[in-house]
Structure 1
Amino acid sequence: MKDLKTKQVLPKVVTCLRQPSQGPTFGIKGGAAGGGYSQVIPMDEFNLHLTGDIHAITAANNLLAAAIDTRIFHEATQSDKALMNRLCPPNKEGKRSFNDIMFRRLTKLGISKTSPEDLTPEEVKKFARLDIDPDSITWRRVMDINDRFLRKITIGQGPDEKGMVRETAFDISVASEIMAVLALTTSLADMRERLGKMVIGNSKAGDPVTADDLGVGGALTVLMKDAINPTLMQTLEGTPVLVHAGPFANIAHGNSSIVADKIALKLVGPGGFVVTEAGFGADIGTEKFMNIKCRYSGLTPQCAIIVATIRALKMHGGGPDVVAGKPLNNAYVTENVALVEAGCINLAKHISNTKAYGVNVVVAVNKFSTDSEAELNAVRNSALAAGAYDAVICTHHAHGGKGAVDLGIAVQRACENVTQPLKFLYPLDFSIKEKIEAIARSYGASGVEYSEQAEKQIEMYSKQGFSGLPICMAKTQYSFSHNASEKGAPTGFVLPIRDVRASIGAGFIYPLVGTMSTMPGLPTRPCFYDIDLDTTTGRVIGLS
């Protein structure tokens, strides 16, 4: 890539992006592949199945769900001895043996014996009977389609499963813990360990039950063995892009994968630059990037780019709500500098939150044709006043790389002028509540309110030894608060934690803030109305 103004050759650049979920593609289409002259191609493949990684996650997730209910079913109808005989059947010589995954469970139970024949009746019961408490199960089935009618379902209604009915739900595939594991893993061996450690619920005695306890950790890894490899794509101008993982940016950490970042760093070399995606704003994406992803990757960012638009800032300044399917309100397409300036309080909060980690901040202002110079200058001035290292007007949508040269130069300078080490928002030895409250304060909250269920879960995870994990807040992306309608930079609110769950394999605790759905719904007019196939050419219509 060349600097079109000075003709100097800039360093190599590789971008790392998350893979978009197929569900929203047919519902409310995002812009995961970018747009205009800055998009990733082929765009239709990017927004659809790509290499099938999300399908692998769906299959693995649902295999584990089936294993849970199947184990409960068989334990309910068999004695300890019968369970043991079926788990360790005799070979042709009539001898029984443990396989590798069974030795993992024996080690966890503190049993050092190596032959099934040597186990006492008490040890047989401990080994063979997981005694899962159905009310404690947190593992749900998933699918990669927005289907609101699967937010609550009842399973076990068949005649052969009489008495096994329980309520559960579906999540969208990218909300699966397996997706979070894929994004945070560092190697195939590490992924195997993380998948095996995933906790699906508790025994009736209150002990966590894992995928390895169910004997399925190895099979999950086999289903995921190819998904660990990132997909190499390119922009319209030939800039390489590594697409990998797509963790739901509310319920998980919403970042592209550690594996992709490390491959990209190797490709660009010591003098190159890797631009990696952190989903949503500094209250979600950046916070989780710093406190979760950086902890597990050991990598340190030199600069954070905050993307801003005049339209979004006008909304945060008090502009009317944007309604899907309706024309933009006149406030967003005509000059209103005062509205922009009022909305910059939101941008200033993002800048201060990001700078708190010790990185320089560059603001990229995506220019629309309706933006006036006065409005653009207002954003730039506000960003600099809030402490941004630089703020640059960008036109890469219209002009490709040429429209982002100034941004590239600003980022290069920001990276070369880092003066502080990376700072985390909290130490891991804080209690779960102390970590939650540190994050809440960064939003502007004056306090945190815990439901009875949240208190119960925090106590349980602490007793089980999981309190040393980082926190991944499941919160709306539309506001610093829990209330999506609270724009700007609200302060003094009390953050409600209605539940606390854990992704032990991925490696984080996730509190649910207010109401947070993990299965999106389709709107009245989904985008599938516009999607079709040209049966003569084979070209996809409606995705590009």
Structure 2
Amino acid sequence: MDEFNLHLTGDIHAITAANNLLAAAIDTRIFHEASQSDKALFNRLCPPNKEGERSFSNIMFRRLKKLGISKTKPEDLTPEEINRFARLDIDPASITWRRVMDVNDRFLRKITIGQGPEEKGMVRETGFDISVASEIMAVLALTTSLADMRERLGKMVIGNSKAGDPITADDLGVGGALTVLMKDAINPTLMQTLEGTPVLVHAGPFANIAHGNSSIVADKIALKLVGPGGFVVTEAGFGADIGAEKFMNIKCRYSGLTPQCAVIVATIRALKMHGGGPQVVAGKPLDHAYLNENVALVEAGCVNLARHIANTKAYGANVVVAVNMFATDSKAELNAVRNAAMAAGAFDAVVCSHHAHGGKGAVDLGIAVQRACENVTQPLKFLYPLDVSIKEKIDTIARSYGASGVEYSEEAEKQIEMYTGQGFSGLPICMAKTQYSFSHNAAEKGAPTGFILPIRDVRASIGAGFIYPLVGTMSTMPGLPTRPCFYEIDVDTATGKVVGLS
């Protein structure tokens, strides 16, 4: 196995830098607008050159066009036009753009900024998200070209003016600089498996707090490389309720691509947990229930698998279940899963041992996937149309989870009303929800029904192209456990090799 740079093409570093540049631009603009007159602000935004002539930078024409001002020379603007152009008048209470970092740091979830003596009166509460939750990560994953990425980055909404108008990255003049930071990150990293199969690694939006899919750019490159008769396998994170739902309703809408087959990966251990098995705690030995045969427990947990199959089939794709076999799995348990999958409507269900035997252990899976792709009979069907209200779309997704209804906080109600008024209600929905359950409660295993799904907050990722409800207590900044994996990671100083990552 060859070593590789863990940072790959540096997309997470680029996203972090770009995200935080925009955050700095927001607070800096508020600071300067608070201390300067319209004339002083305008003169600094459009400074004279050595000949005393002023001009607009290219990005400023985007704001002028948005304001309906067709003039091309700064000196031609009226005092009223200067005020509208130069003063964004950002409402600090409306700012939804947060800083990010690529470390699980729970103590940054809520912070106060602007406490320095030079920023007197600029104090406000904000917080950090994990870098992969940044809208810029979603933009990278959903963009189709460099030009498309430039437009998406410029359209990102960071908050509102005090008059209620959305403020974008281009309004702040930073859209072009963000694109420069992201220019190299748009290129996927070409890697390979141990057996030499090409793999494109690109983008990493978590499916529980973002849309959970690798990039459209990587998919399209892969499809071009394999040719008309080839196969491309692309990942949708977690289950049918999260990654697959967003793959179909968000990614497929923007890519124009249609999947012929969806592979659902299942394990005996996971199904035992959904059947009522003991709690699994990271770092602690597995309970004997997961290491010894218990067909009844597996069968009880298959209700979870059955719902994933039903939800995925609803999009029109054939479903193949891949049962990842562990050494402790019995033949009876494996047969129970296969029988349950077929009864739930799977096209096929295949026991796989590729973790132990490499490609040889997944030959049957490959054959099943090929057959499934060759026997597609239905077109792609979205879960909801885009022209219904935000609440109707959220309700439709919630009912696919098994919910009987949705409950909105006062803040969520206000945000939905605001985004609807601003003309954003036609966007798809990207739910931020726990990956451990169909419901909002991570402890609720199996296939729960009849629960009310609570929506705590609603944000908008306008550049990426979706509305972003936060379900229950879902956090966009993870925390570290009592025993983080860094205890195992080190460098062998004699050889220079990294240890403890596998």
Q: TM-score w.r.t. structure 1 length?
A: 0.91
Aligned-partner Cα distance in 1 for 2:469–2:299: 33
Q: How does 1:201-212 map to 2 (within 5 A)?
A: 201-212=159-170
CA contact (8 A) 1:426 1:435 kept: yes
Maintained 8 Å contact 1:196/1:212: yes
Q: By how many angstroms is 1:89 displaced?
A: 0.3
Secondary structure of 2:232 counterpart: strand
Q: What do residues 162-182 of structure 1 show as CA deviations (whole Å, max 9, x unaligned)?
A: 111111101110010000000
Aligned counterpart for 2:454 among listed residues 478, 485, 496: 496
CA contact (8 A) 2:112 2:125 kept: yes
Please list the CA deviations of residues 231-287 of structure 1 after superposition, one character each: whole Å capped at 9, or x if unmatched: 000111111100000012122100000000000000000000000000110000100
8 Å CA contact 2:111–2:126 kept in 1: the answer is yes
CA distance in structure 1 between the aligned counterparts of 2:455 and 2:187, rounded to whole angstroms: 36
Report the Cα distance in structure 1 between the residues aligned to 2:178 and 2:475, rounded to whole angstroms.
Answer: 26
Does the CA contact (< 8 Å) of 1:156 and 1:164 recur in 2? yes
Q: Secondary structure at the match of 1:275?
A: coil
Per-residue deviation, 1:490: 0.4
Shift of 1:48: 3.1
User: Does the CA contact (< 8 Å) of 2:45 and 2:86 recur in 1?
Assistant: yes
Show structure 1 runs of 5+ residues with no match: 1-42
Task: Summarize deviations over 1:201-225 as a string: whole Å, max 9, x none.
Answer: 0000000000000000000000000
| Residue 214 of structure 1, aligned match among 165, 172, 183 | 172
Rate the CA distance shift 1:44–1:309 in 2: closer, same or farther, 3 A.
Answer: farther
In 1, Cα distance between equivalents of 2:390 and 2:427 = 8
The whole-number CA distance in structure 1 between the counterparts of 2:318 and 2:163 is 49
Q: Which has the higher contact order (CA 8 A, sep 6+)?
A: 1
Shift of 1:501: 0.5
SS of 1:215's equivalent in the other structure is: coil
Structure 1's 44 and 449: CA in aligned 2 closer, same or farther, altered over 3 A?
A: farther
Q: Distance in 2 between matches of 1:507 and 1:222?
A: 21
Helix, strand or coil for the counterpart of 2:4? helix
CA contact (8 A) 2:38 2:83 kept: yes
Displacement of 1:52? 1.3
2 CA distance for matches of 1:47 and 1:472? Answer: 31
**What's the offset of the Cα at 1:44?**
9.2
Q: Give the SS at the match of 1:45.
A: coil
Task: Find the aligned partners of 1:117 and 1:138 in 2 and give their Cα distance.
Answer: 34
Residues 44, 442 of structure 1: alpha-carbon distance in 2 compared, 3 angstrom cutoff:
farther
1:112 CA drift (Å): 0.7
Q: What CA distance in whole angstroms lies between the structure 2 residues aligned with 1:513 and 1:134?
A: 24
Post-superposition shift, 1:93?
Answer: 1.2
Cα 1:308–1:417, aligned 2, differ >3 Å: closer, same or farther?
same
What is residue 108 of structure 2 aligned with on the other side? 150
How far 1:46 moved relative to its partner?
6.5
Q: CA deviation at 1:524?
A: 1.1
1:94 Cα offset (Å)? 0.7
Distance (whole Å) between structure 2 residues aligned to residue 172 and residue 95 of structure 1: 44
Describe how 1:49-88 pairs up with structure 2 within 5 A.
49-88=7-46
Assess, with a 3 A threshold, how the Cα gap between structure 1 residues 147 and 166 changes in structure 2: closer, same or farther.
same
Aligned to 1:363, which of 315, 321, 329?
A: 321
- Asked if structure 2 preserves the Cα contact closer than 8 Å seen for 1:105 and 1:213, the reply is yes
Equivalent-residue separation in structure 2 for 1:89 and 1:75 (angstroms) = 16
State the Cα distance separating 1:45 from its structure 2 match.
6.3
For 2:459 and 2:477, locate their aligned partners in 1 and report how far apart those are by CA, in whole Å.
16
Structure 1 Cα separation of the partners of residues 5 and 72 of structure 2: 50
Shift of the alpha carbon at 1:485? 0.7
Is the 1:44–1:543 contact (alpha carbons within 8 Å) kept by the matching residues of 2?
Answer: no
Deviations 1:491-533 (CA, angstroms, capped at 9, x unpaired): 1111111111000000000111101111111111111111111
> Relative to 1, partners in 2 of residues 1:230 and 1:45: Cα closer, same or farther, differing over 3 Å?
farther
1:201 aligned counterpart, secondary structure: strand
Distance 1:46 1:502, change over 3 A: farther
2:233 matched residue in structure 1: 275
Match of 1:478 among 422, 427, 436: 436
Q: Deviations over 1:142-199 (max 9, x none)?
A: 1101111111111111111011111110111001000000000000000000000000
Greater shift, 384-393 or 90-99, is seen at 90-99
d(CA) in 1 for partners of 2:485, 2:342: 39
1:133–1:203 CA contact under 8 A, matched in 2: yes
Counterpart position of 2:302: 344
Contact 1:349–1:489 under 8 Å retained in 2: yes
Contact 2:9 2:184 in 1 (8 A): no
Work out whether residues 44 and 540 of structure 1, in 8 Å CA contact, stay in contact via their aligned partners in 2. no
Asked whether the equivalents of residues 178 and 506 of structure 1 are also in contact (C-alpha less than 8 Å), the reply is yes
Is the 1:354–1:361 Cα contact (8 Å) retained in structure 2?
Answer: yes
**Deviation digits for residues 377-435 of structure 1, max 9, x if unmatched?**
00000000000000000000000000000000000000000000000001100110110
1:438 CA drift (Å): 0.7
Q: Which residue of structure 2 lines up, in the alignment, with residue 335 of structure 1?
A: 293
Look up the match of 1:415. Answer: 373
Q: Partner of 2:59: helix, strand, or coil?
A: helix
How far residue 47 of structure 1 moved from its aligned partner, in angstroms, is 8.5
Larger mean Cα displacement after TM superposition, 501-510 or 523-532: 523-532
For the residues of structure 2 that align with 1:49 and 1:372, how far apart are their CA atoms? 40
Q: Quote the Cα distance in structure 2 between the aligned partners of 1:453 and 1:522.
A: 28
Q: Distance in 1 between matches of 2:459 and 2:468?
A: 5
User: For structure 1, which segment, 172-181 or 531-540, has the greater mean C-alpha deviation from structure 2 after superposition?
Assistant: 531-540
**Contact 2:239–2:435 (Cα < 8 Å) also in 1:** yes
Shift of 1:50: 2.1
Q: Write the distance in 1 (CA, Å) between the matches of 2:474 and 2:439.
A: 13
Aligned 8 A contact 2:188 2:200 in 1: yes
Q: Compute the displacement of 1:357 (Å).
A: 0.2
1:201 & 1:250 partners in 2: Cα distance? 23
Determine helix, strand or coil for the equivalent of 1:206: coil
Q: TM-score, normalised by structure 2?
A: 0.99
C-alpha separation in 1, matches of 2:169 and 2:177? 10
Q: Does the CA contact (< 8 Å) of 1:181 and 1:195 recur in 2?
A: yes
Supply the distance in 2 between the matched residues of 1:70 and 1:154 (Cα, whole angstroms).
15
Separation in structure 2 between the aligned mates of residue 431 and residue 46 of structure 1, nearest angstrom: 46
Cα gap change, 1:295 to 1:124, in 2 (>3 Å): same
- Looking at structure 2, the residues matched to 237 and 307 of structure 1 have their Cα atoms a distance apart, in angstroms, of 21
Shift of the alpha carbon at 1:92? 1.3
Aligned length: 502
Q: Which residue of 2 aligns with 1:33?
A: none
